[in-house]
Structure 1
């Protein structure tokens, strides 16, 4: 399942170069991931009830084009692949002209909340991935 959210770039997200600060793109992607989890019926409290958390362990991001104040951006999230305890979600940020602004692959791991060690991906999450 691919999901997307839309945002408008705010003044507090602009850096001294007059465009969106690089760290803000990670926030945009986090907001989109949260939306993806919710639409997959896997909000934070569902994982907590299972005694499981998800931890981001790697982000590979490509900055493709500037985003500026007032622009409307669409941030999409889709599952790419899964391993035993890790999984990858892909993000794309597109501006209102359809230009790719940034894209990234985010690797997360499922952990036992008490032991703080990796555990196999629960079936509820695994079924969201292709193959």
Structure 2
């Protein structure tokens, strides 16, 4: 596969199912955003930053902004691969993650995405400084 930023930090395989399809007969745009979140959360868990660690630290990363470029339609039965990279981490409050969704059958990139994540206190929902575990765990894996 041709990845935009080299080997992804985390890869997730996806199969498009009936419940992902909208009235137009292709994957609904909202489904793609959920796949971005699932890839980000899967990567966090792989780093040991799971819900238990989040609650222990009273911190969580929440989406502040998504940008999604829908480049090609996908259909029921398509097998896709989502790659993600951390592009920025200010080690204070926010980080930026990029995504690329590829259909291996034809090598087409069907989506590129971007999310700015902000650290918040779980108990208040207010922005709070990242704990060391986030600052050092969410390492930058690619540059623009």
Q: What is the TM-score normalised by the length of structure 2?
A: 0.84
Partner of 1:15: 22
How far residue 112 of structure 1 moved from its aligned partner, in angstroms, is: 1.3
Which ranges in structure 2 are unaligned for 5 or more consecutive residues?
1-7
Which contiguous aligned blocks of 4+ residues in structure 1 show a shift greater than 6 angstroms?
none
Aligned partners of 1:6, 1:26: CA distance in 2, in Å? 15
- Choose which of 102, 111, 133 in structure 2 pairs with 1:124: 133
CA drift of 1:113 comes to 1.9
- Mapped partners of 2:126, 2:118: distance in 1: 9
Query: Which residue among 68, 93, 96 is the counterpart of 1:88?
Result: 96
Aligned counterparts of 2:124 and 2:17: Cα–Cα separation in 1: 40
Q: What is the Cα deviation at residue 129 of structure 1?
A: 2.1
The 5 A counterparts of 1:64-79 are 64-79=71-86
Number of aligned residue pairs: give it. 131
